[in-house]
Amino acid sequence: MRSGCSRSVENYEKMEQIGEGTYGQVFMARSNTTGEIVALKKVRMDNEKEGFPITAIREIKILKSLDHKNVIKLKEIVTSKAHALNQNKGSIYMVFEYMDHDLTGLADRPGMKFSEPQIKCYMKQLLTGLYYCHRNNILHRDIKGSNLLIDNNGILKLADFGLARSCASESSKTLTNRVITLWYRPPELLLGTQFYGPAVDMWSAGCIFAELLLGKPILPGKNELEQLDLMFKLCGSPVPVDWPEVELLPWASSFVGKKRFPRRVQDVFRRFSRSARSLVESFLTLNPTHRISARDALDSDYFWEEPIPCSPQDLPKYEPSHEFQTRKRRQVWLC
């Protein structure tokens, strides 16, 4: 990434909007000097009375510290000038390498069904990226399909570090539990913990794995209560024998020991191989201290037995597809 003074956004020609992030719009753009296609992510400043948003500062700081083939690369920051006449405050954009797809957009294509070697290839890359982040004490805290970007060489990269944070030397500090998109949020956060670590991302990775296998989201709750209900109906109700600390969690008393649901993971995933079922079980473990780490997941039989993962360049090439565009297209069809 360039350092020092930031360049102007006029170095890029905006082409079309490809995403709407929590913190701003994302555009496809072309560099006027090199012709390279990039993604411009506008930093949303609407609610900022006090200058540059802290969330964006955190995201930029974290992205600058990471350098891995399965993590999105921040190329530079560019700015647009303030216009005194129309009271335009000026904007700030993060410039990223352009990625053709996100996993949700790809999976939502009509008739799309991933083969086992393809699922293994995507999961291996997701876990390699997570292993790198966790080794560097970064929690992503918003792993979901639309934040897993894929280029036309089949390389998958973790993106949107807007909720990420460093967990080094912070083990005694409390963290917010209001992170991770509901369907991918682990039980400990839903039960109100403020002390957590990399296991939160591993739950989300497990939800994605299960979704790739079944072809649909596994825990599509409409609110936090329903999310816990769906989760316990699939993974069984938490019991202190398996998860002693659960009783100490802030909102546990409303759920633990009330209705008892049995665990149904083996049954729901019965048509998949023994090693696939075993990996789903290890990801979707309610007790975060027993949940599998990215490193151990990469070592699991699933990735080493036949059929082995295909290589990224052997994945099929698709027309660009982003969740935002798929959603927009669907809205047009519905009108």
Number of residues that bind ligand AMP (CB under 6 A): 20
DSSP 290: T
By CB under 6 A, name the one of 14, 21, 182, 287 that touches ligand AMP: 21
Q: Distance between CA 153 and CA 151 in Å, rounded? A: 5
Active site residue 142: yes
CA 311 centroid distance within chain = 22
Strand 37-42 versus strand 24-31 pairing type = antiparallel
The only residue of 146, 193, 285, 326 in contact with ligand AMP, by rule CB under 6 A:
146
Q: Binding to ligand AMP by residue 201, rule CB under 6 A?
A: no
Tell me the closest approach of the beta carbon of residue 18 to ligand AMP, in angstroms. Answer: 5
Q: Which residues contact 325 (CB under 8 A, 6 or more apart)?
A: 18, 105
CA 276 from centroid of its chain's CA atoms:
21
Site for ligand AMP in 24-43 (CB under 6 A): 26, 39, 41
Residue 124 annotated as part of some ligand binding site: no
Q: Is 117 in the site for ligand AMP (CB under 6 A)?
A: no
Chosen residue from 43, 106, 159, 284 binding ligand AMP by CB under 6 A: 159
CB 201 within 8 A of CB 130: yes
Q: How far apart are CA 261 and CA 234, in angstroms?
A: 8
321 part of the interface to ligand AMP, by CB under 6 A: no
Q: Is 71 helix (H, G, I), strand (E, B) or coil?
A: strand
Any contact of residue 324 with ligand AMP (CB under 6 A)? Answer: yes
Please pick, among 46, 67, 100, 142, the residue that the annotation labels catalytic. Answer: 142
In 3D space, the residue among 18, 208, 230 whose CA is nearest the CA of residue 107 turns out to be 208
* 147 belongs to the binding site for ligand AMP (CB under 6 A): yes
CA dist., res. 25 & res. 245, Å (int): 41
User: Which residues contribute to the annotated binding site?
Assistant: 41
**Binding residues for ligand AMP (CB under 6 A):** 18-19, 21, 26, 39, 41, 72, 96-99, 102, 146-147, 149, 159-160, 322-324
Q: Annotated binding residues for ATP, as ranges? A: 41
Active site residues: 142
